[in-house]
Structure formats: structure tokens, C-alpha cells
């Protein structure tokens, strides 16, 4: 019988791995040196996480958990009260948080992952898709609850994800936060207009 995994031990290893990955970056991480930095055998990491790739996803999620999450934010709002405004305010809060120094470790790793997904899509694109899943699932789920067709919600979630990530990347690289903020504001307004149109069409059908 396989020995059951210890969640406390896994949490300890994740904290240590997160510290190492922040120092070395994603591209600089291979399983054996990572294990050496933490002070464990490579098989210990494989036992708790399954693979290096799955461990990296956990690291990115762990960093993200220290900041406001869109899923939690949208769970708390009253979706029946102007959903377009609620969603816009939620994305704006995440944008304001992205401007804080404390968000930089997560953002640095995230955009390193974006770069790696471009250069080596077979290995890193699935990790990026997994890292973005919370955003897409949270927005689509919220909008479906508001009464919008799922196909429409996916397009809206993609518009906000592209606008938000693009604005953050531009601002971090250039320091032009005001221009980036205007860009994400435009994306928010576009999606808000589409939400209003969809809800109006649904009311007419009913």
C-alpha cells in the first residue's frame, strides 16, 4: 500500500520551492538543483507534486494566493445588482493591486512563463493555460449566473484577460502606468457594454 501524502509536508515544500523559484526564475529551475536548494531528494518533490511542471503551477498559484483573487471577489458580489458594474469594479481592484510592489514576485514569474510559452509552447503553454484558468473560469461562471450565454461569456473573459495582462505587461516594461490604465479601462467598458446588450436581449426574449 502506498504511503499517504502528508499535506503539511507538501505545504512546507511548496513554501521552500516558491522561494527558490523567485530567486532563480522558471527557466533556471530543473528538478535536481531545485531539490538540492530545498534540501530534499528529487523523488520527494515528485512524490508530492508529480512533476516539475505541476510543481511550477503550484508555485505560481501559491504566489497568487497572497493577493486578491478574482474568483473570491466575484463570489462576494451581488450578481443581480448591475453585474457589468460589479465585474468592472472587480477587475479595477485587481489592476490597482498589480501596481503595488508586493505583486511584483507573482507578476515577474507570470510573464516569464508567458515568454517561455512563446519560445517552447509544447512544454510551457499548458502551464500558462492552467495559470490563467482561475481568471477565465471565474468570469465565465459569474456571467453565466447573471444569465449570459456561455459562448458570450468566454469571449468576454478573453477580452478582459488579454486587456489586463497586456496592460500590466506594458506598464511593468515601460513604467507608463497611466497609459496602461487607460487601456484596461477601455477593455472594461467594452465588456460592460456587451454585458448590457446581452442582458437586454435576454429580457426581450423573455
Q: Where exactly are the structural domains of the chain?
A: 7-63, 68-205
Phi and psi at residue 77, in whole multiples of 5°? -80, 160
Q: Which three cell numbers stand for residue 70?
A: 478574482
- The pLDDT assigned to 70 comes to 67
Determine the angle formed by the axes of helices 83-98 and 177-205, rounding to 10 degrees: 160
Tens-digit pLDDT string for the chain (206 aa):
455 678 889 999 999 998 898 888 888 788 999 999 999 999 999 999 998 888 988 888 777 766 556 666 676 655 556 888 888 988 998 899 889 888 888 888 889 889 989 998 998 888 888 878 888 888 898 888 888 888 899 999 999 999 999 999 999 999 999 999 999 999 999 999 999 998 888 788 77
Grid coordinates standing for 145?
A: 449566473
Smallest CA-to-CA distance from 157 within 143, 145, 139 is with 139
- Cα–Cα distance between 59 and 23 in angstroms, integer? 12
Domain 7-63: homologous superfamily in CATH: Homeodomain-like (1.10.10.60)
What pLDDT sits at residue 1?
Answer: 42
User: Is 118 in contact with 55 (CB distance < 8 Å)?
Assistant: no
Q: What is the pTM of this model?
A: 0.77
CA distance 34 to 24: 9
The per-residue pLDDT for 201 is: 84
Residue 34, pLDDT score: 92
Whole-angstrom distance, CA of residue 160 vs CA of residue 93: 13
Residue 35, C-beta contacts closer than 8 angstroms, at least 6 positions apart: 41, 42, 44, 45
The 8-class DSSP code of residue 50 comes to: S
Q: Which of 168, 96, 147 is nearest to 88 (CA)?
A: 96
Amino acid at each position: 500500500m502506498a504511503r499517504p501524502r502528508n499535506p503539511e509536508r507538501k505545504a512546507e515544500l511548496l513554501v521552500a520551492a516558491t522561494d527558490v523559484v523567485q530567486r532563480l526564475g522558471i527557466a533556471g529551475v530543473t528538478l535536481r538543483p531545485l531539490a538540492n536548494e530545498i534540501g530534499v531528494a528529487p523523488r520527494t518533490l515528485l512524490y508530492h507534486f508529480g512533476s516539475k511542471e505541476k510543481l511550477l503551477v503550484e508555485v505560481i498559484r501559491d504566489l497568487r494566493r497572497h493577493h486578491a483573487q478574482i474568483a473570491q471577489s466575484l463570489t462576494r458580489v451581488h450578481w443581480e445588482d448591475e453585474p457589468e458594474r460589479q465585474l468592472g469594479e472587480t477587475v479595477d481592484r485587481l489592476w490597482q493591486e498589480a501596481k503595488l510592489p508586493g505583486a511584483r514576485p507573482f507578476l515577474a514569474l507570470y510573464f516569464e512563463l508567458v515568454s517561455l510559452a512563446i519560445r517552447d509552447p509544447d512544454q510551457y503553454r499548458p502551464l500558462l493555460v492552467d495559470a490563467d484558468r482561475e481568471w477565465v473560469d471565474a468570469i465565465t461562471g459569474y456571467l453565466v449566473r447573471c444569465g449570459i450565454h456561455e459562448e458570450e461569456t468566454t469571449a468576454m473573459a478573453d477580452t478582459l484577460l488579454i486587456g489586463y495582462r497586456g496592460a500590466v505587461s506594458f506598464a511593468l516594461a515601460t513604467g507608463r502606468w497611466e497609459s496602461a490604465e487607460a487601456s484596461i479601462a477601455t477593455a472594461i467598458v467594452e465588456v460592460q457594454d456587451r454585458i448590457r446588450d446581452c442582458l437586454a436581449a435576454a429580457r426581450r426574449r423573455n
